[in-house]
Structure 1
Amino acid sequence: MTKGKVLVLGSNATRVEVQGGYADIGQYLNETVVPVMALIAAGYEIVLATPDGGKPTIDPVSDSPMHFGDDVAAHERARAFYESDPSMNAVLSLGAVIEQGLDQFAGLFVPGGHAPVVDLMQDADAGAILRHFHRASKPTALLCHGPIALIAAMAQAPAFRAALIAGDEAGARKLAGDWPYTGYRMTIFSASEEAFVEEHVFKAKMHFEMPQALGIAGGSVIVTPVDFAPHVVTDRELITGQNPGSDHGVAKALIEALGRANA
């Protein structure tokens, strides 16, 4: 017997649009594995689902002890877990999860890396899943770039994303009127943190900033002025973490929220 099931929404994206072309991306290893391992240790069963049912690609930038406090052993355990644990390999499609029924899940978790900016942000099934968890007030946790997936909960998410890329802020605001997370306090990878990635990893600029996107949608975005410092914001059922260093904090907050919900 477990305490319940937690649905993990993964991404299948491996490239993101940047100004002048594309950059190779994926899902971050620590942002996926640290919360998942904590959930399993706390007694929860994990179901991993992605838009097409394929296992997410790990961003090579994240496959480093640096993201595990420079603990080589912790990094190796995380990599082994992601490669071989059944919870990370029995991947379903988002459509299949919806067909099987969302009431079976106690909570939802969306890890980051830049990948959610590409597919989850505008995926209709992801939007249906988010709206279900919102209506049911079930714990919903998203980490780093993961919170951008919240955009999928609006009816015209693909058009909203296209307006952001086109620099049409007024048009994007008009498309966001039905967003269920309007007024929620939340955090996401900051503009200054993104600038570091743009300069040192992508060598190119993104088309829009993550806090800007959530703010245009109607969120009350709060970021820490200290780049890459752990930062977690909780508002009602929503739990968001700002950056890779917020992995343990998001895991703790989600487990505590699940405990309160099941009390």
Structure 2
Amino acid sequence: MVAKVLVVLTSQDKIPANGHPTGWFLPEFAHPWEVLHKKVDLTIVSPNGGEAPLDPGSVKMFESDPVSINFLKEQEDLWKNTHKLSDFLSRVNEFDAIFYVGGHGPMYDLHYDHASLALIQAFSAAKKPVSAVCHGPTVFIKAVAKSGQPLLSNAVVTGFSNIEEDQSGMTSVMPYMLEDELNRVTGGRYVNADQPWSEKVVVSRTVDGATLITGQNPASAVGVGKEILKALGV
């Protein structure tokens, strides 16, 4: 049987502090999709269902990246017609892994979303891989195991770094800093690449013993996709 992966996109289309457009980040969906789609079945969901907002800044930033641009031109249906995330709470047994695409959007909706947290907790409890890239790992911060422990307790993780946020000019409008929160919830086990914007992918374990895959930034998106395949034995 072909492995099935649930892919989660944000529904947040604005930065509340300044009203600027946001959403999910183009290469962080395009590159994992390129790695995954011929080997696993992908189902795309978002909190609101329907069209999941694509961060227009990511389109501009990656206009010279052939994978991103081909994806943008040819796969629009994937994010224009997402399923509603909460409809999948009773369907965890149908899937083999869950993957969260980054972008600033998840910092505002998926970080707090109860259905998303319940899904993550169910996947982890079932020992199914949970994964995210860039700002995506924010989705794990509030997740807890049945024991009440944070799901990331003692896990090694990565995600968008403070220096990368500073260099993006976004620190002043962030509700919290992802690196700081990941450090807090893991007990200081956040790690990042030697150089900002370089690839860093970390494979660790949740409290439940599920495989936990995190990538630091857009450059880590391919590596996260490859680690998902490895975790699935594909």
Normalised by the size of structure 1, how large is the TM-score?
A: 0.79
Contact 2:30/2:68 (CA < 8 Å) preserved in 1?
Answer: no
The alignment status of 1:32 with 2:29, answered yes or no, reads yes
Residue in 1 that maps onto 2:208: none
User: Match for 1:60 among 56, 59, 71?
Assistant: 56
The alignment status of 1:222 with 2:191, answered yes or no, reads yes
SS in 1 for 2:68: helix
Equivalent residues in 2 for 1:145-156, closer than 5 Å: 145-154=135-144
Contact 2:52/2:79 (CA < 8 Å) preserved in 1?
Answer: no
- The alignment of Structure 1 onto Structure 2 pairs a total of residues equal to 226
Contact 2:49/2:81 (CA < 8 Å) preserved in 1?
Answer: no
Letter in 1 for 2:184: I
User: Separation in 1 of the partners of 2:136 and 2:217?
Assistant: 9
Residue in 2 that maps onto 1:122: 112
Residue in 1 that maps onto 2:230: 256
Letter in 1 for 2:226: K
The alignment status of 1:77 with 2:45, answered yes or no, reads no
Greater share of helix: 1
User: Separation in 1 of the partners of 2:233 and 2:51?
Assistant: 29
- Gap change, CA 1:83 and 1:104, over 3 Å in 2: same
Shift of 1:136: 1.4
User: Separation in 1 of the partners of 2:109 and 2:155?
Assistant: 23
The alignment status of 1:184 with 2:155, answered yes or no, reads yes
Residue in 2 that maps onto 1:208: 176
Residue in 2 that maps onto 1:45: 41
Which stretch of structure 1 is more off in the superposition, 23-32 or 203-212? 203-212
Equivalent residues in 2 for 1:85-104, closer than 5 Å: 87-99=78-90, 101-104=91-94
SS in 2 for 1:15: coil
User: Separation in 2 of the partners of 1:95 and 1:34?
Assistant: 26
Residue in 2 that maps onto 1:9: 8
Letter in 2 for 1:209: M
Residue in 1 that maps onto 2:212: 238
| Bigger radius of gyration | 1
User: Separation in 2 of the partners of 1:232 and 1:144?
Assistant: 10
User: Separation in 2 of the partners of 1:248 and 1:203?
Assistant: 26
Gaps of 5+ in 2: 206-210
- Gap change, CA 1:259 and 1:81, over 3 Å in 2: farther
Shift of 1:152: 3.8
Shift of 1:94: 1.4
User: Separation in 2 of the partners of 1:227 and 1:128?
Assistant: 32
Shift of 1:4: 1.8
Q: Considering only aligned residues, what root-mean-square deviation do their CA atoms show, in Å? A: 2.1
Shift of 1:90: 4.2
SS in 2 for 1:148: helix
SS in 2 for 1:153: coil
SS in 2 for 1:227: coil
User: Separation in 1 of the partners of 2:135 and 2:110?
Assistant: 11
SS in 2 for 1:55: coil
Task: Give per-residue Cα distances to partners, 1:34-85, cap 9 Å, x unaligned.
Answer: 11232112x2111111111122111111114x537x34x433311023314x
Shift of 1:89: 4.4
Normalised by the size of structure 2, how large is the TM-score?
A: 0.88
Letter in 2 for 1:40: H
Letter in 2 for 1:3: V
Shift of 1:22: 4.2
Shift of 1:122: 0.3
Shift of 1:96: 0.8
User: Separation in 1 of the partners of 2:214 and 2:69?
Assistant: 26
Residue in 2 that maps onto 1:106: 96
